[in-house]
Amino acid sequence: MAAADRHGAPAPLRGARRYRRRLRSRIILSFLLLGLGLTLLFAFATQYARNRVENALVEDVMNRNIDEYARLYYSDPTRSPDLPVQQMRAYVFTPDRIDRLRRDFPEWVELGNGNHSLTGTDEDGTFSYRLAVRKTDSEWFFLAYDMTESIRGEAQFQRAIYGSVVVFSLLSLLVGWWAASRVMSPVSELANRLRRSGPGQPEPLAAHFPDDEVGQLASALDDYAARLTEVVQRDREFNADVSHELRTPLAVIKGAVELLLARPDLDEKIRTRLLRIQRAEQQCTDLISALLLLSRNERGHGATDVVRVAEQLLDAHRAQVGVKALELRLESGQGSLVVDAPEAAVAVALGNLIGNAVKYTQAGEVVVRVLDQAVEVIDSGPGLSAEDAARLFERGYRGSHAEHSQGGGIGLSIVRRLCALYGWSVRVVPGPVRGVIATLSFRPEADGAAA
């Protein structure tokens, strides 16, 4: 079953306001993620392009310089073999200097032709450099390019890039906050106007909004409110007309029955039938009054003695028990119980519970026990199945033991609606051994299989 509150009405859709806030948060989060993603992508692309360009330039410069150094060496082999070339350091090792190469630069010996990234140490600490290698059968040429400053510059560039990512992400967050406020502001205003709109003739909404999506929504809500108001008005008029038109013949029936019962020479069988007609008229009158209260969604007031109503209902059912071996008993150890409600509402709510107990109990007893602020109806019938307990208060649902009994399955749904209107609670649970215990509490309480 759908979740229900303690009075039987469907649980309200909680969190509507939280949902609006979540929508605002999602807009802000979308802007933040978009800004973060774009800046990270831009930072990655910039870093990648910078590294590619720098590597290409360094390699091109080193390749040209090592070739130039080899040309200069071959043009004058007597010059110093270790010369600086355009802020780089060039070396050449002939077979007679291989021992020095192995002593001073052992990591260079196994390197092949090409450009290599290496690290070294000096009195200032660790440094990085690029090494271009050209090996021939008679000479090995090396060109070292110190990359320490370039790496430091790259680290500074990366810090700047990451700082830009943080700055632009915060800027995206601010833009998202501003955009969410602008986007959600008309929606919030529309919700507030709907919340302030009272029953009856609601205030038109479309006039307060521009002709955009929110304005279209406001116009659709205006149209829906107009149609809903019209339906409610027709429903109220129909209920009032039906109530008036039914009360008139019922009043005629009541008067005629009273006149006939006043005759001293009345046959006993006819008197019994007239009393049954009188009880049916009273039940119809109470039901009409209760349904009219429900249709108007307004609480009637009164000081109703629950014990007296229970006695009248039991007397009415005793006359209808027929051939069943059924005892109807009232226990009112708590004395009188008076509730602030019309007698018709109490009679309909309690009468449906008693009527169900009598209907489904073929033998044994039905006990109506008046407690402090509550009434229990206990029967010795066939009990309550799990499916019945779950669906008992659904409109139109008839229990598994209904079989060929009369009724449309709306009695307990009316009880549930009356409880929701007056703040009462109703609970129907299986008895300890068999049967059913129905509790109508005039003080709302947490319940298990409650409506």
Quickly tell me which residue has 């303690």 as its tokens: 6
Mean pLDDT computed over 1-15: 42
pTM score:
0.52
Q: For residue 399, what pLDDT band results from cuts at 50, 70 and 90? A: low
Instruction: Answer whether 203-298 and 300-451 agree in fold.
Output: no
pLDDT (0 to 100) of residue 293: 79
Q: What is the dihedral of CA 165, 171, 177, 178, to 10 degrees?
A: -150
Q: Going along 47-189, which residue ranges are E strands?
A: 83-85, 88-93, 114-122, 125-135, 140-146
Q: Which CATH number fits domain 203-298: 3.40.1390.40, 3.30.470.30, 3.30.390.10, 1.10.287.130?
A: 1.10.287.130
Q: For residue 220, what pLDDT band results from cuts at 50, 70 and 90? A: confident
Contact 378, 437 (CB under 8 A): yes
pLDDT at 3 over 60: no
Class of domain 300-451: alpha beta
What type of residue is 75?
S
Domain boundaries, the chain: 17-188, 203-298, 300-451
Q: Which is more confidently placed, 172 or 94?
A: 172
- Ranked by mean pLDDT, the top range of 11-15, 62-66, 321-325, 386-390 is 62-66
Distances (CA, A) of 92 to 97, 115, 135, 145, 148: 9, 16, 9, 15, 23
